[in-house]
Structure 1
Amino acid sequence: MVRVRLKLPSSEGRVARWLVAFMTLGFIALAAAAIAIGWITVRNRTYTAEILHTQDVRQAIATLQIQMEQSETARRGYILAGKPLFATAYARSAGNLVPSIRKLRHLTRDNPRQGARLDLIEPRFVQLRALRTQSMTLVASGRIAEAQRRFAVDASVPLMRGIRYRTQAMAADEVRLLAIRTARQERTSALFLSVAGLAAALLLVVAILAVLLIRRYTADLAASRDSLRTLNETLEEQVAERTADLSRANEEIQRFAYIVSHDLRSPLVNVMGFTAELAAAAVPLAELVDRAEVEAPHILTEDARLAAREDLPEAIGFIRTSTQKMDRLINAILKLAREGRRTIAPEHIDPAQLVDTIVGAMQHVVDDRGAVVRVERPMPAIVTDRLALEQILSNLIENATKYLQPGRPGEIVVKGHTERGRVILSVVDNGRGIDPRDHQRVFDLFRRSGAQDQPGEGIGLAHVRALAYRLGGTIDVQSTLGDGATFRLNLPTHMTIQDAA
């Protein structure tokens, strides 16, 4: 009898190696984009601060101009009419001139051109203030005619004209600086979008290639299975050989998720190791710069000093933070995968007692965060998986203690009731709340809501929802910003193994 050999479409591990290669390329692109975006963000923040500073200077100049004009107008009105109302207006506006000049001097201390203009304004202001004080004193003593005669011949007008000219020049210079700094910020924003777009495009290409590879492998495997079925009437040894090949192929498919998650850690470990070596090498480099600065300062440039003391440590810190985040994400994904394979074991549970155990285990965390957890009894008994329910409630209670409203003591209430033959367990808090637009989004993987001021990767609630589904239930949230949140876990009263499936 003719022996027909069935060949699988690729050798063992070949597809996995290609897939890991694609994932590694995507990670490298993501890391490079993250570093570039981080640098661009720092530069953009600097440009934004410069723009805000320019706006502050413009506001200070405008305020000074208004106060100069208001005080001069009040003085002339007092000379012409002699009414106390003008004297009061003059005193109010003139009293703010000196602080305004000081503020403008402080804001322009980094601009020699503006400082030079202020050096010309201040002596003119002193002379003008003396003339104004003389006029106001003459009018206050009833010598209005003499005040008017002196005003007609004194230097108030040319002094005021000189001050106006120089404040207008200062304002024009700030407008010029604002245009320059705004253009730099726009260029930086455009660069940011370009880098982000390039990274997204590269990741998309990698993802498409990986999907095509998997689809091709899956199609080839399906073809192999069809061929195997056509040979089911051949010799027993041929059937055994084909069955063994098919089993190995199926095992390879099952190992894909584990291989990807596991092998993805290898380049990550390399990056973390090289980052540690860079950090270690930066120490003697900084010491060498310090020594050169003392013993041979002429060979040390400012760029070298900044690179050794600031730029290199900052870059190393950013890389370390990024790799640590990626490591946490991989660990979380592996944890989710292991939980998905765990066998569900329903048993009778008292939810109130379970919550007491959870709160007791995290009592120090609750106390440190200034919160109080209260259990409303009685709570309905339930038949479900203890470990899964404990993980769900632990996550919800910990989140409630984590996202408190500043200035308001945290209060968390855990309660339960039956509704239409199902058990509803609720975790109610008075924290910062969740925007209604994010009520569904918070349960998605790697998605978070509100201010990102607490540690986390956006995995906890996704894990909670997955566990709730495995227990044959659902979970939802009711909340408004600033008024706390209520998470409702809806579970069957008596769970069976069929529900878990």
Structure 2
Amino acid sequence: MALAFVALIGSAGTAGWFVMRAQEHATWVEHTYEVERRVSTLRVLIERLEVARRGYLLTRNPQTKRTFIATVKGEAPLIAEIKRLTVDNPVERQNIADIEQLTITHLGLLSRSMMLADRDPALAIAIFNHDQSLGITRQLRETTAAMLDEENRLLEPRIEAQREAVRILFYALAFAGALAVATAIFSILVLRRYTTNLVQTREAVEKLNDELEDRVEERTRDLSRANEEIQRFAYIVSHDLRSPLVNVMGFTGELEAAAKPLAALIDKVEAEAPQLLDQDAALAAREDLPESIGFIRTSTQKMDRLINAILRLSREGKRVLTPERLDLTQLADAIVASLQHRLDEIGATITVQRGMPTVVVDRLAAEQMLSNLVENAVKYLKPGVPGRITVSATVDRGKVDIAIADNGRGIDPRDHDRIFDLFRRSGQQDQPGEGIGLAHVRALAYRLGGFVDCKSALGEGATFTLSLPVQPVIQG
């Protein structure tokens, strides 16, 4: 089929070339006719000059003189046009040169006769009967006739060449037409076979899609059940951990309260009976016991924060999402306003793109995701470097991509995936946090039918992109 189209294109190109050749031959034929027309017009002007002079010598009619003057004015431009048209023909160039010389002499003789006729008509007629004007007129007739003969000589082969080009063009067009018909028939056969295969393939794809949809629905149900089980498990575990943690925190408080009178007793013994004081016991009461209590309290506080975070995640997973139309520019402005005091302290600025699109999304979920990403950008700026954070959004194929870009510390590319895992963090841990925020963002984005992504390198800042559907797609 490809060869047929190549041949068709080739034949069309050949036909086009012959069209150009035929047009070229037609142009030369037209050129020849134009030269002949101009030469014939020149012959008429020459005869008109001679007739006008004779008429004026006989009648001295002013109209005849005006005709003579108008004819003289038109002769020179006509000769110049003929000269331009025949510049490519040496024979015609010589003929037109002879005409120019004869015309100069001829006009001189005619002009003298016309002027003399006004002063002495009899003398003008006598000179007319004996001057050379008639001979020159005869030479002009012969030269212009020679030019017409030369053009006729050129016309015959040009017409024949034009006819030959038209004949070849006809054959080429006939071949191209036959080839086009054959190609069309072949294309129809191929398209019919392709259409048949396409219909069969479409039916097979529809069958596979039906099976796939059934599998997806089944897997979605399984995933929903598993997610519910995980949420219940997280709630139960968090609730069950809370009780022993409260006991540990309570007994830690009692130990801390008991350590104070013990330390006072050590101080009293050291002051009143130092010989009874054991240095190891004093060190344990004054330093080891408070330090251990501090470690226990710090660990229990961290455990308490983790349990609270797990409970929040569990409750968030159960919360019914309520989509509403939300202006991202207004939401971002509100988040920036809430952080303005912190921004002023560290000398950072947040630029919010004007005219960001609106989305239909759960307001609380959107606020939590965007706040978390912006606060993380503020938290991990480079010390000593003015922080620059931008919030922008673009719409692409039914999704809005919200980008939060900063010039902060950056994230090692090896950690781009793990930072979204629960309790996982990256880089230097000099900022407060439990490693739950980004996991929460990813979980919410998934429930809303979107995702979150990170592009970053160490020392080059980071860009988090939150992609959400423009219209709500709530996952279970």
What's the TM-score once normalised by structure 2's chain length? Answer: 0.51
Question: Residue 331 of structure 2 aligns with which residue?
Answer: 354
Identity of aligned residues (%): 69
Q: 1:395 touches 1:461 (CA, 8 Å); kept in 2?
A: yes
Question: Residue 361 of structure 2 aligns with which residue?
Answer: 384
Structure 1 residue 371 displacement after superposition:
2.0
Measure, in 2, the Cα distance between the counterparts of 1:309 and 1:334.
38
1:476 aligned to which of 453, 458, 472: 453
Residue 303 of structure 2 is aligned to residue 326 of structure 1: yes
Measure, in 2, the Cα distance between the counterparts of 1:359 and 1:302.
57
Structure 1 residue 297 displacement after superposition:
1.0
1:493 aligned to which of 449, 470, 473: 470
Structure 1 residue 401 displacement after superposition:
0.9
In structure 2, the residue corresponding to 1:264 is in which secondary structure? Answer: helix
Can you list the C-alpha shifts for 1:404-451, whole angstroms capped at 9, x where unaligned? 111112121111111222100000111111000000000000100000
Q: What does residue range 365-404 of structure 1 map to in structure 2 within 5 Å?
A: 365-404=342-381
In structure 2, the residue corresponding to 1:368 is in which secondary structure? Answer: helix
Question: Residue 281 of structure 1 aligns with which residue?
Answer: 258
The 3 A distance-change label for structure 1 pair 255 and 451 is closer
Residue 276 of structure 2 is aligned to residue 299 of structure 1: yes
Measure, in 2, the Cα distance between the counterparts of 1:255 and 1:492.
28
In structure 1, the residue corresponding to 2:256 is in which secondary structure? Answer: helix
The 3 A distance-change label for structure 1 pair 304 and 392 is same
Measure, in 2, the Cα distance between the counterparts of 1:349 and 1:480.
32
Can you list the C-alpha shifts for 1:150-186, whole angstroms capped at 9, x where unaligned? xxxxxxxxxxxxxxxxxxxxxxxxxxxxxxxxxxxxx
The 3 A distance-change label for structure 1 pair 255 and 374 is closer
Question: Residue 418 of structure 1 aligns with which residue?
Answer: 395
Question: Residue 437 of structure 2 aligns with which residue?
Answer: 460
Structure 1 residue 357 displacement after superposition:
1.0
Can you list the C-alpha shifts for 1:256-308, whole angstroms capped at 9, x where unaligned? 54333212100000000000111111111111111111111111122112111
Q: 2:411 touches 2:461 (CA, 8 Å); kept in 1?
A: yes
Q: 2:451 touches 2:466 (CA, 8 Å); kept in 1?
A: yes
Q: 1:344 touches 1:500 (CA, 8 Å); kept in 2?
A: no
Structure 1 residue 459 displacement after superposition:
0.4
Measure, in 2, the Cα distance between the counterparts of 1:393 and 1:337.
20
The letter for the 2-side match of 1:483 is E
In structure 1, the residue corresponding to 2:350 is in which secondary structure? Answer: strand
2:426 aligned to which of 445, 449, 464: 449
Measure, in 2, the Cα distance between the counterparts of 1:276 and 1:427.
44
Measure, in 2, the Cα distance between the counterparts of 1:362 and 1:352.
16
In structure 2, the residue corresponding to 1:412 is in which secondary structure? Answer: strand
2:235 aligned to which of 239, 242, 258: 258
Can you list the C-alpha shifts for 1:388-417, whole angstroms capped at 9, x where unaligned? 010001001111111111111212111111
Larger Rg: 2
Measure, in 2, the Cα distance between the counterparts of 1:467 and 1:368.
31
Measure, in 2, the Cα distance between the counterparts of 1:355 and 1:252.
35
Measure, in 2, the Cα distance between the counterparts of 1:257 and 1:397.
28
Measure, in 2, the Cα distance between the counterparts of 1:258 and 1:400.
30
In structure 1, the residue corresponding to 2:351 is in which secondary structure? Answer: strand
Q: What does residue range 15-414 of structure 1 map to in structure 2 within 5 Å?
A: 256-414=233-391
Structure 1 residue 254 displacement after superposition:
8.4
The letter for the 2-side match of 1:263 is D
Can you list the C-alpha shifts for 1:31-87, whole angstroms capped at 9, x where unaligned? xxxxxxxxxxxxxxxxxxxxxxxxxxxxxxxxxxxxxxxxxxxxxxxxxxxxxxxxx
1:431 aligned to which of 408, 420, 434: 408
Q: 1:351 touches 1:381 (CA, 8 Å); kept in 2?
A: yes
Q: 2:234 touches 2:311 (CA, 8 Å); kept in 1?
A: no
Structure 1 residue 255 displacement after superposition:
5.7
Structure 1 residue 500 displacement after superposition:
3.1
The letter for the 1-side match of 2:268 is R
Measure, in 2, the Cα distance between the counterparts of 1:424 and 1:366.
25
The letter for the 2-side match of 1:467 is L
Question: Residue 235 of structure 1 aligns with which residue?
Answer: none
The letter for the 2-side match of 1:364 is H
What's the TM-score once normalised by structure 1's chain length? Answer: 0.48
Measure, in 2, the Cα distance between the counterparts of 1:480 and 1:257.
34
The letter for the 2-side match of 1:281 is A
In structure 1, the residue corresponding to 2:426 is in which secondary structure? Answer: coil
In structure 1, the residue corresponding to 2:465 is in which secondary structure? Answer: strand
The 3 A distance-change label for structure 1 pair 413 and 317 is same
Unaligned runs of 5+ in 1: 1-250
Structure 1 residue 363 displacement after superposition:
2.1
Measure, in 2, the Cα distance between the counterparts of 1:415 and 1:256.
38
In structure 1, the residue corresponding to 2:246 is in which secondary structure? Answer: helix
The 3 A distance-change label for structure 1 pair 256 and 488 is closer
The 3 A distance-change label for structure 1 pair 253 and 473 is closer
Unaligned runs of 5+ in 2: 1-227
The letter for the 1-side match of 2:475 is A
Structure 1 residue 252 displacement after superposition:
11
In structure 2, the residue corresponding to 1:500 is in which secondary structure? Answer: coil
The 3 A distance-change label for structure 1 pair 450 and 257 is closer
Q: 1:369 touches 1:402 (CA, 8 Å); kept in 2?
A: no
Structure 1 residue 369 displacement after superposition:
3.4
The letter for the 2-side match of 1:352 is T
Measure, in 1, the Cα distance between the counterparts of 2:230 and 2:417.
32
